[in-house]
Amino acid sequence: MDMSRVADQGLVLLGCGKIGSAMLAGWLEHGLPSASVWVIDPNPSDWLRAQGVNINTPLPERPAVVLVAVKPQMMGEALPAIQALGGGGTLFISVAAGTSIATFERVLGAGTPIIRAMPNTPAAIRQGISALIGNASTSGSDMTLAEGLLSAIGDTVRLQDEAQMDAVTGLSGSGPAYVFHLIETLAAAGEAQGLPHDLAMRLAKATVAGAGALAIASEEDPSQLRINVTSPNGTTQAALEVLMHEQEGFPNLLHRAVKAATDRSKELSGE
């Protein structure tokens, strides 16, 4: 992506923790000069201090982009620091779960271009996926700029409606944690069947990574890929009879987990 507008006018990060750092790392690797980045964060990490960016110094007058990456609970305390940049000219991108566009419009003014995006932590190795939706003041070139920035850390998708953001958060925003827990529990299950811990963990990580990569690369859909592993009356069938059980298996469990995350996202927008 062409970073020249952002490099010339500057990019401000409000909050630079796990997800802000993952995004910043991607942009610096894509050639964004560190001198063009201003970070507001009361607790800058050692990694951030080593990047040569401006930390907690006065902001440029009209930066190209402000990225909001603080926890939703910190929003009220954090937003006043960038409120003066609202009103047009600067594009705001928020990755905060459960903080609506209307909340930002109340603070920054409805004429401010605001894009809500939901990335995920594989962004740290440029394998994230981010879903985006903009407000009425967002132009086509604002969307293109936001997609360009987010494509530096993985894939992007546009949403039709802001209401989809709660379910997106429950699926792909929080989803990496479900997969990490799958790896933990798959390895533990292998240990329970007699494998040493390190071997079980290595097999579990490679199995999840390889299956994920095959699901992306293959023209067959995941259900066919599952069938391809399953010999009639073999070992996989024995396991899938447990995992695909309507009430006690994955279908009900994941339905409940994604619903809980989606509901929590809705709750956060009301807090």
Name the segment binding ligand A1CAB (CB under 6 A); options: 169-177, 202-210, 235-243, 252-260: 169-177
Q: Which listed residue (90, 138, 156, 174) binds ligand A1CAB by CB under 6 A?
A: 174
Question: How far apart are CB 49 and ligand A1CAB at their closest, in Å?
Answer: 24
What is the gyration radius of the CA atoms in the chain, in angstroms? Answer: 21
Q: Are 154 and 167 in contact (CB under 8 A)?
A: no
- Among ligand NAI, ligand A1CAB, none, partner that 15 touches (CB below 5 to 8 angstroms by kind): ligand NAI
Token pair 């940049």: residue:
85
**Is 252 annotated to bind ligand?**
no
Q: Does 169 bind ligand A1CAB (CB under 6 A)?
A: yes
User: 56: left (phi > 0), else alpha (psi -120 to 50), else beta?
Assistant: left
The amino acid sitting at 222 is P
Identify the H or E element spanning 1: none
CA 172/CA 169 separation, integer angstroms: 6
Helices (H) and strands (E) in the chain, counts: 12, 8
Smallest distance from ligand A1CAB to CB 169, Å: 5
Q: How far is it, in rounded angstroms, from Cα 22 to Cα 239?
A: 37
Q: By CB under 6 A, tell whether 42 contacts ligand NAI.
A: yes
Q: Which does 14 bind (CB under 5 to 8 A by kind): ligand NAI, ligand A1CAB, none?
A: ligand NAI
Helix or strand holding residue 13 (H, E):
strand 11-14
Q: How many CB atoms lie within 10 A of CB 160?
A: 7
**Contact pick of 14, 23, 40, 97 for ligand A1CAB (by CB under 6 A):** 97
> Rule CB under 6 A: is residue 103 a binding residue for ligand NAI?
no
Q: Which is nearer to ligand A1CAB, 36 or 94 (CB)?
A: 94
User: Is 217 known as a binding-site position?
Assistant: no
Using alpha carbons, list the distances in angstroms from residue 242 to 245, 248, 258: 6, 8, 20
Nearest CB to ligand NAI, comparing residues 53 and 96:
96
Q: How far is the CB of 268 from ligand NAI (least distance, A)?
A: 8
For binding to ligand A1CAB (CB under 6 A), which residues are involved? 97, 169, 173-174
Residues annotated in a binding site for NADP(+): 69-72
Q: Which residues are annotated as a binding site for NADPH?
A: 56
